[in-house]
Amino acid sequence: SYELTQPPSVSVSPGQTARITCSGDALPKKYAYWYQQKSGQAPVLVIYGDGRRPSGIPERFSGSNSGTMATLTISGAQVDDEADYYCYSADSSGNHRVFGGGTKLTVL
């Protein structure tokens, strides 16, 4: 079955740039989405279509997709950005969707 691979954790100091990667064989053909989930809450979409930002999401969140790797970048990370981040995409057929294992972002 198709898998997306993320690092388990990323840690940065406030104001630094955080980068979270997501690798998958179908990413050259399929869009990546990124979700932020804080403890006890439902996920929130922060990036869609590889690099588009929904309304209400701060400009410090950006996304890119190059080859088999998608990247979520948080420029000038804030303490409030501490959360689990999940990438999401589909296999090459488009019929099966999958989340990455999630990355815990620590900002301290």
Partner 1 sequence: EVQLVESGGGLVKPGGSLRLSCAASGFTFSAYSMNWVRQAPGKGLEWVSSISSGSDYIFYADSVKGRFTISRDNAKNSLYLQMDSLRAEDTAVYYCGRNLPASYGPDYWGQGTLVTVSS
Count CB-CB contacts under 10 A for residue 74. 23
Q: Residue 67 corresponds to which tokens in the numbers above? A: 């080859």
Find the binding residues for partner 1 in span 70-89 (CB under 8 A).
Answer: 84, 86, 88
Per CB under 8 A, 97 contacts partner 1: yes
- Amino acid residing at 55: S
Phi, psi of 79 (to 5 degrees): -55, -35
Nearer to partner 1, 13 or 96 (CB): 96
Residue 74 beta carbon to partner 1: minimum distance, rounded to whole angstroms: 19
Q: Residue 21 corresponds to which tokens in the numbers above? A: 């990667």
Question: Which residues lie near partner 1 (CB under 8 A)?
Answer: 1, 31, 33, 35, 37, 42-45, 48-49, 54, 84, 86, 88, 90, 94-102
